[in-house]
Amino acid sequence: MSKTTKRQNIWVKSPADESVRHPRILIAEDDPEMRRLLTWRLGNAGFETVECVDGWQLLDHLGNPVLSGEPDDYDLIVSDIRMPGVTGLEVLEGIHEAEWFVPMILITAFGNKEVHRRARELGAAGMFDKPFDIDDLIRRIRQILVMDSVSGHNWSPQVSEKDHLQDIPVDVIFSQMPYLEYIEQRIREAMSVLNPVRDKILYCRTVIVGPDENGSGRYHVQVMVTLNDKVFVVRSNLKKMASEADLYATIPMAFEVTLGKIQKYLNGRKRQE
């Protein structure tokens, strides 16, 4: 995977308020018509998109998360499986080896039971066989990024200045598992690591996902922190947490990684100023 390619960023921004930071999605598809359709539909749905024409370009955009396990600036990946150079499954496998990774949805015209099984093992956030309804894909993306919730979503929060100065508004969600009070308490304690940047934070959401109803799968933690111009998403590796004890131990690390991402971004913004 040492091949390098020239990046070709193709951005599609929602016509909504430019002050709101929208989720940033990396689209990898070698079929130009399908790639344009995905870009157009996701852009109209309120997402920012970056196009990749093959697996090499996808790796080029991801960079450090695959090679060194560092978090990246994308919130989600939508990738075809069969592409020139590197397949979507191979990219997912590389991401899966990282301690923290960006959620990845796979699409394919050659799906079978073995492909679906392998995708689940590697922690794919979704799997769609072509042809599929793009509205279903958009709904799945919104579920993964927790954009539809009775508590609102994490992308354009309405937080008063008074609340902002007093404390960081936080919202804890348990998905596919019962509410655990001691886990929520662990989250609220772990959030203290964000104190050095608390004046920059508008809102924080933590999603805890457990094994499915059959007891298969792993726990994972997803932390989303909103600044006035950017949202940071950190997601734990599914394969690392097989028990509630693993989950309990991982939560502080999730917030430490989130703090690192925020500080790196704020330092870069200072240099630009």
* Residues 110 and 199 placed together within one structural domain of the fold: no
Residue type for position 44: N
Each of the 273 residues of the chain gets a pLDDT tens digit; together they read 333 333 344 434 344 444 455 788 999 999 999 999 999 999 998 888 989 998 888 888 876 444 444 445 678 899 999 888 888 888 888 776 665 667 889 998 887 888 888 888 777 888 999 889 999 999 988 877 766 554 445 555 444 444 444 567 788 888 778 889 999 999 999 999 999 998 888 888 888 888 766 665 678 888 888 887 777 778 776 556 678 888 898 899 889 888 888 888 888 777 776
* Residues 136 and 180 placed together within one structural domain of the fold: no
* Residues 138 and 168 placed together within one structural domain of the fold: no
* Domain of residue 65, residue span: 24-144
Q: What is the pLDDT of residue 71?
A: 43
Q: Which two tokens stand for residue 41?
A: 């539909």
Q: Is the whole-model pTM more than 0.75?
A: no
Which domain CATH number covers 89?
3.40.50.2300
C-beta neighbour count of 221 within 10 angstroms: 24
* Cis status of the peptide bond prior to 131, with omega within 30 of 0: yes
* Residues 195 and 225 placed together within one structural domain of the fold: yes
Q: What is the pLDDT of residue 123?
A: 76
* Residues 175 and 242 placed together within one structural domain of the fold: yes
Upper half-sphere CA count for residue 234 (Cβ side, 13 Å): 24
Q: What is the pLDDT of residue 97?
A: 64
* Residues 128 and 183 placed together within one structural domain of the fold: no
Q: What is the pLDDT of residue 194?
A: 92
Number of domains in the chain: 2
* Residues 140 and 175 placed together within one structural domain of the fold: no
Q: What is the pLDDT of residue 119?
A: 84
* Residues 101 and 209 placed together within one structural domain of the fold: no
1 within a domain of the structure (yes/no): no
